[in-house]
Amino acid sequence: MEIPKKTIEELRKKGSQHIPKTIQLSQGAGGSMMESLIEKVIAKKLGIKSSFIGSGIDRLEDAGIIDLGNIKLAFTTDGCTVDPIFYPGGSLGSLSVGATINDLAVMGAKPIAMSFGLILEEGLPLKILEKTLDKMAEVCKESGVPIITGDTKVMEKGKVNKLVINTAGIGVIEGDVISDYDARPGDKILVSGTMGDHGISLIAKRFDFKINLKSDEAPLWGMMKQLLKIGGITSAKDATRGGFSPNINELARKSNVCFYVHEDKIPIKPEAKKMGEVLGIDPLSTACEGKIIMTVKPDKADEILAAMRQNKYGKEAAIIGGIKKEPKGQVILETEIGGKRVLHTPVGESYPRIC
């Protein structure tokens, strides 16, 4: 089935043009509203150029690149606010560290150091802060990435909700930079595991549903380190805010190619599907916190897949499709019976404060 180009263009632009006069929750949730805010307001105001900047905020990638001539560094930052602070499979503390490590990893950078910033609400129990710091330290130790500097602020009760964490990280790029803009026709598309686990499990916890599902939260540098040795990676994305749909659309749009995806090959846990139906949440459009969407050269796809599955965080990895030239900048889902539909970028996340 051929999808009309006019329809595709309308879907691509839908929800991405209008910027409201006041900040909305949907503008922080990874969908088209967030993309518009970052591109048309934040990056426009802060897109200051420097001779050392190999890739700046205007490229809207997971990290910026600092080119010092004989060495390239990747630099990124994350702000995290999660409710509840502790949940099955993770916590605000471990998520804040893992998110920064993963943003560096998908750019091909070895994380070497991090900073943190804490904003604490007056009256927060000390045991919650201590447990949060313990979770941050656990991920740092697993990944071999120290926190070397930080800052702490305390706000009056009611001025901030319990605890907000900002982390920043720097990494060294020992090979090629992995860019969102370099996917090419003929490449294969891989995901490192099941989609939607984090968002759906956290919301289930919030509403006290008892399900056998937990967050997929994981630091992924160990996996990426092995994959970089194999080579052939053309683009990679940390499927965090918004999950699969906005992030794969971003790759397709930036590389100006078409991602053809077999819908039945996208791994989704049965529990996530069922709970998604109960909550009205699409597993493809809610946050992951330990998954990579990746494109690779076709001759490397099977080897990359095997290496992913050997890692404890990639046992359910899958090749889900391939890249074609047309229609440019789009993601097309092919169903089991041969139908096709456009997978568009959602406007925003269904629920706030999940990452």
pLDDT (tens digit, 9 = 90+) per residue, 192-226? 999 999 999 999 999 999 899 999 999 999 999 99
Answer whether 52-173 and 188-342 agree in fold. Answer: no
pLDDT at 349: 62
pLDDT at 44: 74
CA 64 to chain centre: 15
- Range with the poorest average pLDDT among 32-46, 132-146, 307-321, 331-345: 32-46
Look at 164 and 344; give whichever has higher pLDDT.
Answer: 164
Q: State the pTM of this model.
A: 0.89
SS3 category, 296? strand
CA 270 to chain centre: 22
pLDDT at 262 over 60: yes
Helix, strand and coil content of the chain, in percent to the nearest 5, comes to 35, 25, 40
- Tens of pLDDT along 67-117? 998 999 999 999 999 999 999 999 999 999 999 999 999 999 999 999 999
* Nearest partner of 286 among 247, 334, 323, judged by Cα: 247
- Tens of pLDDT along 275-305? 999 988 999 999 999 999 999 999 999 999 9
CATH code linked to domain 188-342 = 3.90.650.10
Cα 26 from Cα 154, distance rounded (Å): 27
233 half-sphere exposure, CB direction, 13 A CA radius? 31
Q: Where are the domains of the chain?
A: 52-173, 188-342
pLDDT at 10: 47
* Nearest partner of 181 among 105, 254, 89, judged by Cα: 254
Give kind and range of the element (H or E) at residue 317: none
SS3 category, 264? helix
Cα 272 from Cα 109, distance rounded (Å): 31
Express as a percent the part of the chain with pLDDT over 70. 88
CATH code linked to domain 52-173 = 3.30.1330.10
Cα 308 from Cα 27, distance rounded (Å): 33
Tokens 């992913």 found at:
308
